[in-house]
Structure 1
Amino acid sequence: MQFFVLASLLGLTGGALAAFDMNKNTNLAVYWGQNTGGNQQQLAAYCQDDTVDTIMMGFMNVFKGEGNQPSFDFSNICSPGNSSFDGTNLPNCNYMAPDIQTCQSKGKIVTLSLGGGGKVENVGFESADDATSFADLIWNEFLGGSSETRPFGKAVLDGIDLDIETQGQEFYDVFVNRIRSNAKGNSKQFFVTGAPQCILPDGHLNTALLNSDLDAIYVQFYNNKQCALDNTSGFNMAAWDNFAKTKSHNKNIKVYVGAPSSTNAAGIGFVDAKTLSGIITSAQKNFSSMGGAMLFDITDATRNGNFQNSVKASLTGNSKRGIEDVKDAHGAWALAYITLKRINAKMNCQHYRTSDPLRRDFGAVNFRRCTTASQMHLQSSLVSSNLFRYASFALRSDHHTAILDSLGYWGQNTGGNQKNLAAYCQDDTVDTIMMGFMNIFHDLGGKPRFDFSNICSPGTGVFPATNLANCSFMAADIETCQSKGKIITLSLGGGGTSEDVGFTSTEDATIFADLIWNEFLGGTSDTRPFGSAVLDGLDLDIETQGPEFYDDFVNRIRSNAQGHSKQFFITAAPQCMLPDAHLNTALVNSDIDAVYVQFYNTPQCSLDNSTGFNMEAWDDFAKTSSHNKNLKVYVGVPSSAKVTGVGFVDAQTLSGIITDSQQKFSSMGGVMLFDISDAQNNGNIQNSIKDALTGKSKRALEDASRPRVRSRHFRLD
């Protein structure tokens, strides 16, 4: 059964966009969720290229648990131990929604696997009614229905996989048929697959295979000696091909060669890449039911020399169907750009843009809201990740300056439950995220080092002969945030362990600036920690060593960025005492776009010192002493008393400070929070801060009393 996504592009153009095709015999399906390889990354990390076509998230090992709700466990990413809906053990993984949608936007299908071969406490059904009720629950909580307890929020999975290895086989056909009934007439295609053992008939799925329509089976040719891949005389793909064509309820069912990704993943059945390639080639030539290969699991495959790459190469290089032609990228860009322009015109965004100085900032804010809405409309229409990426670029190139920003630091897990980056980009609360910190400039192999705590650090994987973390799986999160109009920067320094920061000479600063440009910004390098993702700039949170040569560093970054099509930002986070001991040289001698003044940890000028709070002095410094006379000054605040010894104030007090600063100081740019994970734990204090910024700011009102001069650099591009 073939699945195409149709995009009408609001009636402007039409056609079918390439998507998952179940009819191919080149598909690679992989299991994810069990962390078999010991270094499981976020889901989107495995969707960055064309290697994987289907990801089965596993496993839901409890059908009926506390509160009559199911439960599942994705190991280190999401499990009942992270966060569950009240009165249940059903994990609340809504922060995974961007990852799921990222994978789907790249033409992958993402399904939920029920059962699993490990600890399976309560699976199976007692009656047809029981199976029907459970199918309705699954439909409402994971697929096309609606429920107040949807573990992945608005993300709609592409189907269900049955990896049933315990209990009886009764009523699974009823379950599948009910899912099919619920899906009938839905605009989205849903898939149901199974993962039987290689012995025929399967002891747990045979009823479902004979009496209901499954799209594909991922036959586990491992763990059973009689028919495993390493048993040349017992390997029974021919029997499964015959079963598919003569006995299966769906005579067009696809049969996948299920293989372990290493000996670590299965006790019996692993074969090396060359042997598996021969098996795949033979199956493609001899069995018309052949649908591709299945690997358990992707984390272990990645650990085992990226075993999945050789499997995909075998599938596509020997496929009878061959590889489909790729659409011309330049044509795709043109289509996306023109489409976007027409969408913006239809939504009448342009009327917000004005040369009237009294209305300009009000117009800019509303233009951003309007064009962001059109971007979302475009995304839902295009679906194809490449087209959306081009269109996103086109949209962002039209953005005007956004003032009244709310921004936060991310990476230090101060709140104790830090989520993946994209989880903090799902609404309009935060405008900028500074990922921190790069706390070593010169480390092993001459490379820097950074640490994002539980998400990515040198402990999760580094480039060879360095301590530079390889966080390529974060590329999808960064690009998701950028597509939503956020800017994402890397913060250098940090107030914790800053073992080796600073420069010994102008040459040292220049060389380091070139390295940062090539590995994180607009240059090229073989060791780019975030892969193809290009950050929006840098933040200097320098709290140790001297201030020398940071101006040379900034000026070199500016030089590298000159003439680039993308706008890059440089910000700084000085202490509130003036002059700052570590950043004054940079502020006085180079162009910084904004300062996130830390009005905390220093009693003389912190937020809770009403007589010492020195925003007025910083406003004067910005206008008279800073190299960039249009420098924006942000009120830097701690997110709770937990993150700082001095300076935390409650939301009401902070709101008054924000309002007063907006009224008195034209350099006011917004508010900085350290940090966003702790802010969420503290009653989502970022929401009240954003309300204070947007609800009470005279800049957001149409009748703004006077014009302001724009910064040369600080704008959304």
Structure 2
Amino acid sequence: MEIQLSSFASSSFLLIILGLVGCLFEPTTGRHGRVHGGIATYWGQNIREGRLTTACATGKFQIVNIGFLSTFGDGQPPQVNLTRHCNPICNGCWNVSAGIVNCQNDGVKVMLSIGGPHGNYSLSSAAEALDLADYIWNNFLYGHSTSPRPFGYAPVDGVDFRIERGEFSPYYTLLARRLHDYGRQWGRKVYLTAAPRCHFPDNYLTQSLHTGLFDYVWVRFFDDQKCQYNSGNPSGFQSSWMRWIHSIPARKFYLGIPASEEAGEGYVAPSVLMRKVLPFVKRSASYGGVMLFDLSNDVQTNYSSLISGRV
């Protein structure tokens, strides 16, 4: 059952809550007393974003999600769609392996993102969830496939859940647990990340996130006027952020925002982000950084360079 947040509409009560949070949660600081976060982003949906290797070589990103594995379930063979970058059906995405390895050598974690805003995907049974977990383990992680792996030899570091379509399914929880258990069984860390929408609870992912299996959660504070940042009335954004960090047992939370005005509603200018938004979210000990959607938009605006070292 969704808990109503009408009490947060009172500005005086909100200020009390924020003050308590500032006392209860000490930020993680570096040598100069500044909170340190990282930048995550998505790659794979627009040719103008350039090569994966080039993105990681900039030194600006901590995590890159390759998106998307956007076809699975309902009897369909799983399929990756990287638009004009390559065609995995014709083994045309093997060159992504070099990018994955180069990114990892640069200290950047690389995730396979499943779902996405487009595509045809669903999980309607436990069998489908387990089959998909087996496929991902053998084709993108540390298992062995009898057919050519879509990205070639290089394993990614984990799996990102960006589920935005279809009916609610409890089987994403089973998928996450199976991937986690595979990693434990074989002594390999499998990072699990997720990109829920900002309005709590998320229809697709909240149940899975309650398991505590997820390392990083980048909450999408865009395309939802109820909770995206509004400089004239930031209480909706603030209460949503507080709800997420106090309700879900994830390791770190990232602020998900568009990298350009073209990328979606909820764009926050870099200067506003640094002056108004980051000081608030950094009060939480579970703050992890900023997720920019996506790299193709960031290439156009240079957003990551403007905030690099400041998040």
Shared topology, TM-score over 0.5? yes
Aligned to 1:72: 80
Q: What's the offset of the Cα at 1:241? A: 4.0
Q: Does 1:160 align with 2:159?
A: yes
Which structure 2 residue ranges, 5 or more long, are not aligned? 1-34
Q: What's the offset of the Cα at 1:230? A: 2.9
Q: For 1:310 and 1:131, locate their aligned partners in 2 and report how far apart those are by CA, in whole Å.
A: 40
Q: Superposition pairs for residues 249-328 of structure 1, below 5 Å?
A: 251-266=249-264, 268-278=265-275, 279-284=277-282, 286-304=283-301, 306-315=302-311
Q: For 2:157 and 2:50, locate their aligned partners in 1 and report how far apart those are by CA, in whole Å.
A: 21
Q: Does 1:63 align with 2:72?
A: yes
1:26–1:312 contact (8 Å) kept in structure 2: no
SS at match of 2:119: coil
Q: 1:93 to 1:65 in 2, by over 3 A?
A: farther
Q: What's the offset of the Cα at 1:70? A: 1.1
Aligned to 1:233: 234
**How many percent identity over aligned positions?**
29
Aligned to 1:213: 213
Q: How many residues align?
A: 273
Q: Does 1:27 align with 2:25?
A: no
Q: Which has the larger radius of gyration?
A: 1
Q: Which amino acid in structure 2 is aligned with residue 69 of structure 1? A: P
1:216–1:256 contact (8 Å) kept in structure 2: yes
Q: For 1:92 and 1:111, locate their aligned partners in 2 and report how far apart those are by CA, in whole Å.
A: 19
Q: For 2:220 and 2:116, locate their aligned partners in 1 and report how far apart those are by CA, in whole Å.
A: 12
Aligned to 2:191: 191
Deviations 1:402-449, CA, capped at 9 Å, x for gaps:
xxxxxxxxxxxxxxxxxxxxxxxxxxxxxxxxxxxxxxxxxxxxxxxx
Q: For 2:98 and 2:73, locate their aligned partners in 1 and report how far apart those are by CA, in whole Å.
A: 27
Q: 1:216 to 1:238 in 2, by over 3 A?
A: farther
2:222–2:258 contact (8 Å) kept in structure 1: yes
Deviations 1:564-595, CA, capped at 9 Å, x for gaps:
xxxxxxxxxxxxxxxxxxxxxxxxxxxxxxxx
Q: 1:104 to 1:272 in 2, by over 3 A?
A: same
Name the TM-score, length of structure 1 as normaliser. Answer: 0.37
SS at match of 1:62: strand
Q: For 1:185 and 1:238, locate their aligned partners in 2 and report how far apart those are by CA, in whole Å.
A: 39
Aligned to 2:59: 50
1:63–1:69 contact (8 Å) kept in structure 2: yes
Q: What's the offset of the Cα at 1:108? A: 0.3
Which structure 1 residue ranges, 5 or more long, are not aligned? 1-23, 86-90, 316-717
Q: Superposition pairs for residues 611-622 of structure 1, below 5 Å?
A: none
Q: For 1:25 and 1:158, locate their aligned partners in 2 and report how far apart those are by CA, in whole Å.
A: 22
Q: For 2:188 and 2:105, locate their aligned partners in 1 and report how far apart those are by CA, in whole Å.
A: 14
Q: 1:234 to 1:164 in 2, by over 3 A?
A: farther
SS at match of 2:68: strand
Q: For 2:242 and 2:193, locate their aligned partners in 1 and report how far apart those are by CA, in whole Å.
A: 16
Q: Superposition pairs for residues 522-671 of structure 1, below 5 Å?
A: none
Q: For 2:241 and 2:172, locate their aligned partners in 1 and report how far apart those are by CA, in whole Å.
A: 20
Q: 1:129 to 1:269 in 2, by over 3 A?
A: same
Q: What's the offset of the Cα at 1:125? A: 1.0
Q: What's the offset of the Cα at 1:252? A: 4.4
1:31–1:58 contact (8 Å) kept in structure 2: yes
Q: Which has the higher strand share?
A: 2
1:240–1:255 contact (8 Å) kept in structure 2: no
Q: Superposition pairs for residues 318-467 of structure 1, below 5 Å?
A: none
2:74–2:123 contact (8 Å) kept in structure 1: no
Q: For 1:273 and 1:51, locate their aligned partners in 2 and report how far apart those are by CA, in whole Å.
A: 15
Q: For 2:186 and 2:252, locate their aligned partners in 1 and report how far apart those are by CA, in whole Å.
A: 23
Q: 1:187 to 1:92 in 2, by over 3 A?
A: farther
Q: 1:210 to 1:252 in 2, by over 3 A?
A: closer
Deviations 1:256-287, CA, capped at 9 Å, x for gaps:
00010111111x10011101112123211x21
Q: What's the offset of the Cα at 1:72? A: 1.7
2:160–2:194 contact (8 Å) kept in structure 1: yes
Aligned to 1:632: none
Q: What's the offset of the Cα at 1:235? A: 4.1
Q: Which amino acid in structure 1 is aligned with residue 148 of structure 2? A: T
Q: What's the offset of the Cα at 1:240? A: 3.6
Q: Which amino acid in structure 2 is aligned with residue 32 of structure 1? A: W
Q: 1:188 to 1:237 in 2, by over 3 A?
A: farther
Return the match for 2:50 from 41, 60, 72.
41
SS at match of 2:218: strand
1:124–1:170 contact (8 Å) kept in structure 2: no
Q: Which amino acid in structure 1 is aligned with residue 151 of structure 2? A: F
Q: 1:173 to 1:212 in 2, by over 3 A?
A: farther
SS at match of 1:227: coil
Q: 1:290 to 1:25 in 2, by over 3 A?
A: farther
1:241–1:255 contact (8 Å) kept in structure 2: no
SS at match of 1:271: coil
Q: 1:204 to 1:96 in 2, by over 3 A?
A: same
Q: For 1:120 and 1:219, locate their aligned partners in 2 and report how far apart those are by CA, in whole Å.
A: 21
Q: Which amino acid in structure 2 is aligned with residue 150 of structure 1? A: R
Q: For 1:29 and 1:129, locate their aligned partners in 2 and report how far apart those are by CA, in whole Å.
A: 32
Q: What's the offset of the Cα at 1:47? A: 1.1
Q: 1:216 to 1:153 in 2, by over 3 A?
A: same
Q: What's the offset of the Cα at 1:126? A: 1.2
1:56–1:113 contact (8 Å) kept in structure 2: yes
2:209–2:250 contact (8 Å) kept in structure 1: no
Q: For 2:86 and 2:239, locate their aligned partners in 1 and report how far apart those are by CA, in whole Å.
A: 39
Question: Per chain length, whose mean CA-contact separation is higher, i.e. which structure has more relative contact order (CA < 8 Å, sep 6+)?
Answer: 2
Q: Superposition pairs for residues 85-124 of structure 1, below 5 Å?
A: 92-117=92-117, 119-121=118-120, 123-124=121-122
Q: For 1:265 and 1:93, locate their aligned partners in 2 and report how far apart those are by CA, in whole Å.
A: 25
Deviations 1:363-418, CA, capped at 9 Å, x for gaps:
xxxxxxxxxxxxxxxxxxxxxxxxxxxxxxxxxxxxxxxxxxxxxxxxxxxxxxxx
Q: For 2:261 and 2:37, locate their aligned partners in 1 and report how far apart those are by CA, in whole Å.
A: 24
Aligned to 1:624: none
Q: What's the offset of the Cα at 1:237? A: 4.5
2:195–2:219 contact (8 Å) kept in structure 1: yes
Name the TM-score, length of structure 2 as normaliser. Answer: 0.82
The two structures, once aligned, show a CA RMSD in angstroms of: 2.0
Q: For 1:51 and 1:243, locate their aligned partners in 2 and report how far apart those are by CA, in whole Å.
A: 26
Q: Which amino acid in structure 1 is aligned with residue 230 of structure 2? A: D
Q: What's the offset of the Cα at 1:71? A: 1.2
1:65–1:71 contact (8 Å) kept in structure 2: no
